């Protein structure tokens, strides 16, 4: 059975920050599941691309999950108002799963209180938020600290996905 990668969505996700990892992780052999606050609901990207959730954040079995991906856009700000989405990220982190967030995605990591003392990056508009949450902000295309991978903008997607896949291989001995 392929190991699962969870791709979190809510309305107004940054389209390419969901689409690119979705296909990149599938290409790498992972079972990518779209996860939203509700199961079976269609969520629309900032530019209109639709993605329908396979699962809701409240019915995740973490055992076969290797990574959680949080795209940016306006979705992370919406996701952090759903306790089940916040708890999923916190549980993934606590169970040593890879948690990867790009652009505004680290807003959900802030809400889950998992970046305190960690080196992180994100879109420049949330740099102060990351610092205020106890993270050490680094303006770099991809930053890895333990099991957390963060990136800044859509142009960073190749490095973001490559580094996340490499980290999965290290942590899960693939």
Q: What residues contact 66, with CB distance under 8 A and at least 6 apart?
A: 3, 4, 5, 30, 97, 98, 168, 171, 172
Q: How far apart are CA 66 and CA 162, in angstroms?
A: 15
103 flagged as catalytic: yes
Q: What residues contact 39, with CB distance under 8 A and at least 6 apart?
A: 53, 54, 55, 56, 59
96 flagged as catalytic: no
Tokens of 100: 């990867």
Q: How far apart are CA 143 and CA 121, in angstroms?
A: 6
Tokens of 143: 């930053």
Tokens of 67: 């990574």
Q: How far apart are CA 63 and CA 163, in angstroms?
A: 22
Catalytic residues: 103-104
């Amino acid at each position: 059975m392929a190991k699962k990668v969870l791709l979190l969505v809510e309305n107004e996700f940054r389209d390419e920050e969901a689409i690119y990892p979705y296909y990149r992780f599938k290409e790498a052999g992972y079972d990518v599941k779209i996860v939203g606050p509700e199961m079976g609901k269609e969520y629309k990207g900032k530019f209109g691309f639709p993605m329908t959730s396979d699962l809701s954040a409240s019915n995740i079995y973490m055992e076969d999950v290797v990574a959680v991906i949080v795209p940016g856009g306006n979705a992370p700000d919406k996701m952090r108002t759903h306790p089940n989405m916040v708890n999923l990220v916190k549980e993934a982190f606590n169970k040593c799963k890879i948690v990867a967030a790009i652009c505004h995605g680290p807003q959900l990591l802030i809400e889950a209180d998992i970046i305190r003392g960690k080196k992180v990056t994100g879109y420049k508009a949330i740099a102060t938020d990351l610092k205020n949450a106890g993270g050490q902000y680094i303006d770099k295309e991809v930053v890895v600290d333990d099991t957390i991978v963060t990136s800044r903008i859509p142009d960073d997607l190749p490095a973001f996905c490559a580094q996340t896949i490499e980290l999965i291989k290290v942590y899960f001995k693939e």
